Structure 1
Amino acid sequence: MQIPQRRQFFKTVGATGAVLALHELDFLGRLPVVSAAESQLPSTAVQFSPDIEPLVRLLEETPQEKVIERFAAQIQSGTSYQEVLAALLLAGVRNIQPRPSVGFKFHAVLVVNSAHLASVAAPDTDRWLPIFWALDYFKSAQARDVREGDWTMAAVDEAKLPPSHRANQAFREAMDGWDVEAADVAITSLCRSASAAEVFDLLSHYGCRDYRSIGHKAIYVANAYRTLQCIGWRYAEPVLRSLAYALLNHNGEPNPADHELGPDAAWRVTQQRLSSLDESWNHGRLDSAETLSLLDTLRSASPDEAVDASVQMLAEGIAPQSIADAIFLSAGEMIGQQPGIIALHSATTTNAMQYAYRTAFRDKTRRELLLQNAAFVPYFRESMRSRGKIADLRIDATPEKVDANGDTDLETIFQTVSNDRKQAATQMLGYLNGGGPPEAVINAARRLVFLKGNDSHDYKFSSAVLEDFYAVSPAFRNAFLANAAFLLPGSEDRDNGLVTKVRDALG
């Protein structure tokens, strides 16, 4: 398939600030439109098909080369967006083991929410593309799991479930003791008896306690919960069992309950510092100068020092948002300094932890999430040092040759992304500072992920950073989004073949 001519593509997205369906994607009109309402959890979610098993089995048993064709036929015959999304998530948690790391092949589970977010943000006509990509990606991960032992989630031991009134305490004891078997039955009982909000808050507490798997634990907590908000909490039990299992991953290490290990060091400091914050911690003032000061501190701080600096700011009446801004900017800066897997995860982990911070309801959990998010920045910086050269780039410095008039158009910017990412970031900053609409950048970037993205990280990163543009304070948004050019796809990158696969499947 020929990619749409760049000039026409960027004329379309630039003129309106919204990605419109292109002529080359007209074949998607043969599928039912996914409305914005359908991609959200409706009040009638309990009326989902009572038996999702056949659809999950279809996904599990269909060969990869046939999966898009089979699911296109299912969709054309009436299978809904939520049902396909549910099948994706449930097939993943049943067939993909979060071992030896909560990553690698397990991205087939982690990326479901990222594909969903991309779908929700896309025009109605394009919403199936990320889902078809995720179906194909699951089959690759499933094959890898088979090669690594063909793990399958076992049925829960019903005889060992704690009573509902003991479920919360039993789960805490199991998680604090890093006891996989006890956590499995406890989370099952908790899922059957507690509210979704209570369960999410508790899982957020444990999802941010350690740096193992470079942030994937926190990512899984947020992504699992967000996907369940669309497909319905009735599917939560196997997902939460998988999640509890993932959170207890300490592969290759002794039991953290009995040892003081490096990935848990910041958590111990966070727990000590929580009591020093009074009830006014969340009522401070926004202060850009303090944000930049913390950004500078996080460039050289240890995890412990990052926690202490954040606590001090809160105690001095600085708003949590000013701390969050420094964390977002740190992630953006690391992306420019060493565009790669570690910096990418600093952004996706921050997206997850900030979502959890905004969503958790216990005051203590929210403080933990904010402080741990700050502590993770030095962890990521240390991981980057083990990966090689780190460029001398500061996100708060004014780049040379910025086009202050914003005359560089989107076509040129995304063409430059494919050839010179540093220059593309400079061009994008000039475009945004010159009044270019950020929505046009976001929509163009998202469409290019559909056309060019080959890896789960293309979806994870783009969904996170494009969403977080609006979570950053206005004074820092442009710099944050511009640095995303270091990892976003460019218009001259090779086509991923997804559009061709879907078009062929639809005949």
Structure 2
Amino acid sequence: MARPVAYPESIEPLVRFVEETAPEHIVARTHDRLAAGTPVRDMLLASGLAVVRSSDLPPGHHGGPLHPLSGLHAVRHIAARLPGEYARLPVIQNVAVANKHIHSPAMGPFILPEAQPVSEQDSVEATLEAFRTAAGRGVYHACDHYYLYLLERLSPMQVLEHLLHVAIPKNQIDDHYFLFPVFTWRALEYFGWDYARYLGRAPVRYVTRPTMPASLDDVDGLIAQFGLLERDLRFATGEDETASITALADAIGRCSKFSEVPGLLARALADGLSLEGAGEALSAGGSTLFLRSQTGNPMDVHINTGANTRRYLLRQPELSLRTKLRALLVWHTGPEVLMAQRMLAPDVQPEPERVAALRPRAQNDLLDDIEALIARLPVGERLPKGNLATWRSTDEVKQAAALAQQYANAGYAPEALIARLGKIACRDN
């Protein structure tokens, strides 16, 4: 008979608090626990463990443990940036979302059962082959058991490598097949790898579910065309690459078709740009594309989260070069990244003339004006009878971006802007 997965006694009571507190009380009671001294790490760990054990994975990607786990890395960092009571707000929000999913009739009741490691012939290679076969057939229960065995025999990053063999092609179907496991691994770096046997099961079960076939033939062809696996690619960037990174970022940011991006990246790598430099250019160029996007739907934020996760993978010495290149070169294929392509402004945003027309402001005045403008922004303009994908951003959104550009042009401290935006994001989440 199956039994619910049991957690270490040191964290189990706090997990039960997240699971069992009524949704109408979870915000206040989480605040009280944090105010009484419960460490942020413990509260976030309990939130993750609770939503994994007591909330089912969604048919798509909204609900269950997916976003609560994926957000843990950002939540713990934004909590560390914010002052005073604000530092508790992102933590409370993560707990509240986990609790909401646990109590939602669309996602439960659900219990993640205890599972035992299963191998084939007590062999890592044979078990990996069985894992690949099961993943190809969408037999995620078997993959769950194989994962637990592999976790005992391989390092966490080696396990992620094999999970990414399944996840990277599926990025074309849904960005979250790639994002979910990578963000979970980033959270596990914070909590400790002992918790991989609990938290890691959710992305494993999600990534190995049955989907339509997805091929990497185009990406592998590009890698072969530029001989990227045969070259001694530079890893670390440096000041000597500033001009090359800037040029590549500018080229990416001016693309009208996102399918142009892999070729730009591959050629730059073949010409000697480092892997880190390529990741940096993708971040900067992708941010330019995001600013050019005229959608009122925030899903195209995966332009940025997708670049961030890839830069993380590029830094991992245990991951193979092939996996790093494949991950980098499928960035543009996620449906929520491609959404932005349909509504791109013809040129870089915000318009330089809009920024130039702004009156000069001191740093704190400019921060206050940015916050005030965002606070009064209207909801995105929705086309008649249109779905979420048809929402358009308003002109006020462009004005907020222009103020942020003015802030950057003035050379003001980036940390102050990031902290202010963090406070705003916590209020709006």
Q: TM-score range by the shorter chain?
A: 0.7 to 0.9
5 Å-filtered alignment, 1:186-335, equals 186-211=146-171, 214-250=174-210, 253=212, 256=213, 264-265=214-215, 267-275=216-224, 276-277=227-228, 278-282=230-234, 285-286=241-242, 287=244, 288-296=246-254, 298-302=255-259, 305-328=260-283, 329-335=285-291
In the alignment, structure 1 residue 426 sits paired with structure 2 residue 402: yes
AA matched with 2:233: W
Match of residue 418 from structure 2: 442
Q: Which deviates further from its counterpart, 70-79 or 336-345?
A: 70-79
In the TM superposition, residue 160 of structure 1 has moved relative to its aligned partner by 6.2
Contact 1:103 1:216 in 2 (8 A): no
Q: Residues of 2 paired with 1:104 and 1:49: CA distance?
A: 26
AA matched with 1:453: D
In the TM superposition, residue 73 of structure 1 has moved relative to its aligned partner by 5.0
Seen in structure 2, the aligned counterparts of structure 1 residues 136 and 291 have a Cα distance that, compared at 3 Å, is closer
Question: TM-score, with normalisation over the residues of structure 1?
Answer: 0.67
5 Å-filtered alignment, 1:290-439, equals 290-296=248-254, 298-302=255-259, 305-328=260-283, 329-337=285-293, 338-359=295-316, 361-362=318-319, 363-373=321-331, 375-376=332-333, 379-380=335-336, 382-384=338-340, 389-395=343-349, 398-402=352-356, 406-407=360-361, 409-417=366-374, 418-419=376-377, 420-439=396-415
Q: Residues of 2 paired with 1:444 and 1:76: CA distance?
A: 22
Query: Higher RCO, 1 or 2 (CA under 8 Å, sep at least 6)?
Result: 1
- Give structure 1 stretches of 5+ with no counterpart: 1-47, 257-263, 455-507
The CA RMSD over aligned residues, in Å, is: 3.1
Seen in structure 2, the aligned counterparts of structure 1 residues 217 and 83 have a Cα distance that, compared at 3 Å, is same
AA matched with 2:282: I
In the TM superposition, residue 87 of structure 1 has moved relative to its aligned partner by 0.9
Identity across the alignment (%): 20
Seen in structure 2, the aligned counterparts of structure 1 residues 366 and 406 have a Cα distance that, compared at 3 Å, is farther
Render the CA deviation track for 1:116-162: whole Å, top value 9, x for unaligned.
Answer: 22113334764322111211122222233x33553332332556676
Seen in structure 2, the aligned counterparts of structure 1 residues 188 and 204 have a Cα distance that, compared at 3 Å, is same
Seen in structure 2, the aligned counterparts of structure 1 residues 192 and 403 have a Cα distance that, compared at 3 Å, is farther
Match of residue 62 from structure 1: 21
Match of residue 453 from structure 1: 428
AA matched with 1:80: P
Q: Residues of 2 paired with 1:403 and 1:321: CA distance?
A: 36
5 Å-filtered alignment, 1:110-149, equals 110-123=70-83, 126-144=86-104, 146-149=105-108
Seen in structure 2, the aligned counterparts of structure 1 residues 401 and 88 have a Cα distance that, compared at 3 Å, is closer
Q: Residues of 1 paired with 2:111 and 2:312: CA distance?
A: 30
Contact 2:177 2:207 in 1 (8 A): yes
Seen in structure 2, the aligned counterparts of structure 1 residues 75 and 343 have a Cα distance that, compared at 3 Å, is closer
- Give structure 2 stretches of 5+ with no counterpart: 1-6, 378-395
AA matched with 2:218: V
Match of residue 131 from structure 2: 171
Q: Residues of 1 paired with 2:93 and 2:55: CA distance?
A: 17
Q: Residues of 1 paired with 2:355 and 2:90: CA distance?
A: 36
Render the CA deviation track for 1:315-361: whole Å, top value 9, x for unaligned.
Answer: 12233345334432234423442242332222222222222222353
